[in-house]
Amino acid sequence: MKSVQILILILCISAFSCTSSIAEKNLNPYKQYITVLGIAQDAGYPQINCEKECCAAYYKSEESKKLVSCLGLIDLEAKQKWLFDATPNIGEQTEILKKDHLDNGYIIDGVFLTHAHIGHYTGLMYLGLEALGSDKIPVYVMPRMKNYLETNGPWSQLVNKNNIELQRLKNDSTINLNNRLEVKPILVPHRDEYSETVGYKIIGKNKTALFIPDIDKWEKWERNIIEEVKKVDYAFLDASFFRDGELNRDMSEIPHPFTTETTTLFQDEDLVTKNKIYFIHFNHTNPTIRDKNALKDSIQSLGFKFAKEGDNFQL
């Protein structure tokens, strides 16, 4: 009899432990929030055919894989979720949203695209006939981006077969996702071969985020990035390259704000302002893409931060 009681006690403890661990995994204090789903530049990390030390560190199991730059937006009250950019890692990123954040029966409730460079829209191909075969997923786009997708294959097939439903955006014009969340596209200067480029303001009831994964140089923008950062609670900013000379090519042909340029620009600002900045969209050559790096530590010691996959930000 005593052995039976002990067995029942063990089973009860095991059941409680399993329930607790599941509850802890799914416990999220935020109702509306942003989650970081990727931090790498368009080609990911490690990058194709890279035999440099930066990528060798991954193959030697010294570094973790980094998914392509992407944010998820979740509203647990409305049971809705959105992606900011459709990356080549969209399969993994939507699965993370489903398993770790919200399974509402839909792969995604909408996708906001920043521009037509490979890391930011080519994930749409997995929504098409050869893969998911989705049904009218809203894809929010600026006018040139809309025209590009409608008039160029294979993207036009997604439109023609109603895999996606293009929703036209207007610069600096807010759209309401629901009564708690708003999104505003903001044009930024970039290499606009096929489409314009935008960043986004993501506006919640309590907090606001700025997402600019790609821009040429801050001084080319008609807006003042310092003032824009001060207006928000979080600023996810382009950190493709750490400094000039990082590549064996003319880096003026692929302009981005170097991390060193951004930190210098903000060096006289207070700690509150610096703390709002989360660097994102790292090229594989940028040493601060690494999990642990002395340069990364030095930048953080100044008050700046680095976006990390899995981080959540309350709105």
Q: Mean pLDDT per segment of 10 residues, for the chain of length 315 residues? A: 43 39 51 97 94 89 94 97 98 98 97 98 97 96 98 97 98 96 97 96 97 96 97 97 75 82 96 98 93 92 97 97
Distance CA(92)–CA(189), nearest Å, equals 30
- Would residue 126 count as lying in a domain? yes
- Would residue 57 count as lying in a domain? yes
Domain count of the chain? 1
Q: In 3D, which of 187, 108, 88, 203 has the Cα closest to residue 143? A: 187
Amino acid at 314: Q
Which token pair is 157? 């097939």
Residue 245: the pLDDT is 64
- Would residue 20 count as lying in a domain? no
The domain of 64 spans: 29-309
- Would residue 13 count as lying in a domain? no
- Would residue 156 count as lying in a domain? yes
> How many angstroms from the chain centroid is the CA of residue 37?
5
- Would residue 5 count as lying in a domain? no
- Would residue 143 count as lying in a domain? yes
CATH number of the structural domain spanning residue 89? 3.60.15.10
- Distance between start and end Cα atoms, the chain: 55
Distance CA(112)–CA(129), nearest Å, equals 21
CB 45 within 8 A of CB 68: no
Across the beta sheet with 182-187, the strand order is 175-176, 182-187, 198-203, 208-212, 234-238, 277-280, 305-306
Phi, psi torsion values for 84, nearest 5 degrees: -110, 100
Q: In 3D, which of 86, 168, 167, 71 has the Cα closest to residue 120? A: 86
Residue 255: the pLDDT is 79
- The total of other beta-carbon atoms located within 10 Å of residue 290's CB is 19
Residue 254: the pLDDT is 73
Predicted TM-score of the model (pTM): 0.90
Residue 28: the pLDDT is 65
Residue 3: the pLDDT is 46
Burial class (CB in 10 A: 0-12, 13-18, 19+), 249: exposed
Task: Count each helix (H run) and each strand (E run) in the chain, helices first.
Answer: 10, 14
Distance CA(236)–CA(254), nearest Å, equals 20
Strand 182-187 relative to strand 70-75: parallel, antiparallel, unpaired?
A: unpaired
Q: In 3D, which of 309, 274, 275 has the Cα closest to residue 289? A: 309
Residue 16: the pLDDT is 37
- Would residue 217 count as lying in a domain? yes
Residue 38: the pLDDT is 98
Residue 251: the pLDDT is 67
